Structure 1
């Protein structure tokens, strides 16, 4: 018997046992244990053919009639595969309630070969709805089922770790998000299906490393898999690696290389009408030109990114563009334009509830006010940013704000100055990455 045949036979035995209301123990005796019955139902390959034949006889089944039963069961499985395809499509078009309703209507128990898929799609729906606890429960069920099931060809386990990492990322727990993503990479089966999951795991890992300020590590990963990205069939995923590569090169000070990769990515994105990626790549191109003080090209790049506003699926991108334009103009002493764009960045981030970028934009606006001698306004913006950094547990930005507040109070209020210095050091505020460039790189 092949592994696939064993799997099909096991599913038939499981279904018939359930239909007759029998427990595993009801089929066990001195010749066959409940564990062996369970292994047969799950298609475990090391069970002897004699045990399978014995169990079939106990159920009044034989190998002659089994092909017809297996064929009927295969038809049922085919229908469920189709239902799951419909459910996945409903999730992608944001019909989450209808998708969950259809999943529940399938009524698959945990031993069904597609039970993991059903829980996975339910978890995806809950992630899209921002219901983290329900999503975690569904995905942890997938992990439990996947670890018990002998078939890993669908990469359900790796896919679930991918989503669990995203859930933690959305809750600003980047370190744990990284752990779950690494779990997904370890669980990934190279010769299995859903090969794109590996690249999504690497993409997310690099994104988390970027936000954690670990650019060298992220750059090594991107460079290690760079020769493989041409095999990625999803163009938006492929382009995300162009953006990450250019971003890590820019952060690492390799601006000429970043400019080359960004331009290459822009050509690919332009040919495929990928406007989100175009925005990301023009933005990092603007960042690289800003770093090399090629002001005119930096402004042009960021202005082109700004022109893509009405073509974007994700409004968060525009907050980044506005903030980078504001910081560019600040470095050029064009303070009125800087204030305009930084104020727009604050309003845009606040409007969509993008708290990490709202925090960054407020800090930059505070920097501008401090630079233009509007210290009271600077303190106001810094205190707003500090409240957000504390609320959303962002210690690096909290350190940066304490440092900035200390500058504001120096020579004005000695007690406040000393308190800020103390808080800055408590939160490891002497981190050399606190500066302006580090802050804008984390957007």
Structure 2
């Protein structure tokens, strides 16, 4: 008979104990403690096999009974795992209610080998429903239990989802924090290898939204040579969009256009309409940098043609705002006003603080260009409040600078107030950059 190891028998013992309605304390005596029984059930390797044999005898079992029990348990575990695989597919195709219903029908507890995965899938379902508190609670449970088997990378996946939850609630700093924890938790030799690059892409996106462009570009460039290793087209194309946007913001317009066009061809071939929308928008913005207004407008209009082909309506905020800027350059004021108003309304509708802050700054620029000073100040102050509330330091500085321009030669007190606030924000930004440099050298 093949030797039976302690890690193979623990789940079988736990299952039999549960079926008989016994507690750990019910089996404990002067020869074996509840803690030792728990260690046996969890397959802790340092447990003495004689203790396991003693526990089996107390339960009326022999070592010779174990192979058949283990085979039955393994088959049951495989069936459970397949059910989770099916549920994850349902959640992925938008059948959230069905996925949750099937999760609720499962029989399991926190000691089950796949309990972390169950919590992870529950979190994904709640996240799809935008039930953030329930989602985050489930992901934290998944992280806690995943430490029993870190090779499954459920911990890394759950940290990734916690970052997304925070991002969706406009908390970019916490999004970066959780994503960093996910990168640290990821096991190279483990399961779910896609999360290695998902985590890196998400971190780069959050950094870009915070205006930390150098750090974001570093993350992208660190992955760029390995894109062929990534199996998910959506993740690959996300890197294309992000690389193009960062190159554009750093003044490398020709390179930005090249990357965007390569990404668009990949997106077209893979029918990835959501990323296609982002790529058309960044391409239009790059052409605006070149003052190629006709190509820029064509790109933005192409992006808007994709309306209805994906569900993420919040992304339209940026495209409307940039199209409004294009109309402003051409002095097409009526069209500019309509587009910018759409941008603000869309940002408000989707409670998307980063994009809404940008749209409000553009709206302030529009009103200032039309000499509507009170309206301009109101838009800038709304942008300032949003930036301060969510700790978007660079956008806060931009809003203060524009307000100072409005108050100059009009209200010296308000002008000086803005200047002092700008100095404070600049100091905070400087301190953040110094902290980042220190972390990089540790």
Give TM-score, length-normalised by structure 2.
Answer: 0.88
Alignment of 1:38-117 (within 5 A): 38-117=38-117
Q: Which residue is 2:365 aligned to?
A: 367
How far did 1:10 drift?
1.0
Equivalent residues in 2 for 1:171-186, closer than 5 Å: 171-186=169-184
CA deviations on 1:94-147 (whole Å, 9 max, x unpaired) are 444443343233242111111111111111122222222222221111122122
Structure-1 separation of matches of 2:4 and 2:95: 34
Q: 1:391 to 1:336 in 2, by over 3 A?
A: same
Following superposition, the deviation at residue 28 of structure 1 comes to 4.0
The answer to whether structure 1 residue 329 and structure 2 residue 324 are counterparts is no
- Aligned length in residues: 430
Could you tell me which residue of structure 1 aligns to residue 381 of structure 2?
383
**Contact 1:403/1:429 (8 A) holds in 2:** no
Q: Call closer, same or farther: CA 1:275–1:393 in 2, change over 3 Å.
A: same
Query: For each residue in 1:54-88, what CA deviation from the matched residue of structure 2 results, as whole angstroms up to 9, or x when unmatched?
Result: 33233222232222222222232233223323332
> How high is the TM-score relative to the length of structure 1?
0.88
Q: Which stretches in structure 1 are left out of the alignment for 5+ residues?
A: 433-443
**Does the 8 Å contact 1:424/1:430 carry over to 2?**
no
Q: CA deviation at 1:197?
A: 1.2
Deviation of 1:185 (Å)? 0.9
In structure 2, relative to structure 1, the CA distance for the partners of 1:174 and 1:384 (3 Å cut) is closer
Match of 2:338 in 1: 340
Q: For the residues of structure 2 that align with 1:224 and 1:46, how far apart are their CA atoms?
A: 41
| 1:275-424 equivalent positions in 2, closer than 5 A | 275-424=273-422
Paired with 1:40 and 1:218, the residues of 2 have a C-alpha distance of 46
Please list the CA deviations of residues 348-385 of structure 1 after superposition, one character each: whole Å capped at 9, or x if unmatched.
22333334322221210110111222222212322333
**Matched residues in 2 for 1:99 and 1:3: separation?**
40
Residue 126 and residue 415 in structure 1: after superposition, are their counterparts in 2 closer, same or farther (change >3 A)? same
Residue 308 of structure 2 aligns to a residue in which SS? Answer: helix
Structure 1 counterpart of 2:439: none
Q: CA RMSD in A?
A: 2.7
Secondary structure in 2 matching 1:377: helix
Give the Å deviation of 1:219.
Answer: 1.6
Counterpart Cα distance in 2 of 1:335 and 1:99: 49
- Residue 29 of structure 1, CA deviation: 4.7
Deviation at 1:6, TM superposition (A): 4.5
Check whether the contact 1:286–1:297 (CA below 8 A) recurs between aligned residues: yes
Q: Distance in 1 between matches of 2:145 and 2:192?
A: 18
- Kindly provide the CA deviation profile for residues 399-438 of structure 1, in whole angstroms up to 9, marking residues without a partner as x: 3223222222222233333333334434449979xxxxxx
Q: CA deviation at 1:202?
A: 0.8
Distance 1:190 1:430, change over 3 A: closer
The 3 A distance-change label for structure 1 pair 402 and 77 is same
Partner of 2:150, secondary structure, is coil
Separation of aligned partners in 2, 1:431 and 1:410:
24
Match of 2:235 in 1: 237
Structure 2, unmatched stretches of 5+, are 431-442
CA contact (8 A) 2:171 2:390 kept: no
Per the alignment, residue 24 of structure 1 pairs with: 24
Conservation of the 8 A alpha-carbon contact between 1:109 and 1:115: yes
Q: 2: distance between equivalents of 1:210 and 1:259? A: 18
Query: Within 2, Cα distance between the matches of 1:196 and 1:3?
Result: 36
Distance between the aligned counterparts of 2:234 and 2:397, measured in 1? Answer: 35
Q: For 1:208 and 1:145, locate their aligned partners in 2 and report how far apart those are by CA, in whole Å.
A: 27
CA 1:431–1:221: 2 relative to 1, 3 Å:
closer
Match of 2:259 in 1: 261
For 2:376 and 2:324, the matched residues in 1 are separated by: 15
Match of 1:419, SS state, is: helix
Measured in 1, the distance between the counterparts of 2:225 and 2:11 equals 41
Deviations along 1:272-312, one digit per CA (max 9) or x if unpaired, are: 11111111112112222222333333232222222222323
SS at match of 1:71: helix
For residues 225 and 5 of structure 1, the distance between their equivalents in structure 2, rounded to whole angstroms, comes to 41
Deviates more, 1:61-70 or 1:378-387: 378-387
Change (3 A) 1:6 1:153: farther
Which residue in 1 is equivalent to 2:152? 154
Deviations 1:323-362 (A, max 9, x none): 1112233344443432232122123223333343222212
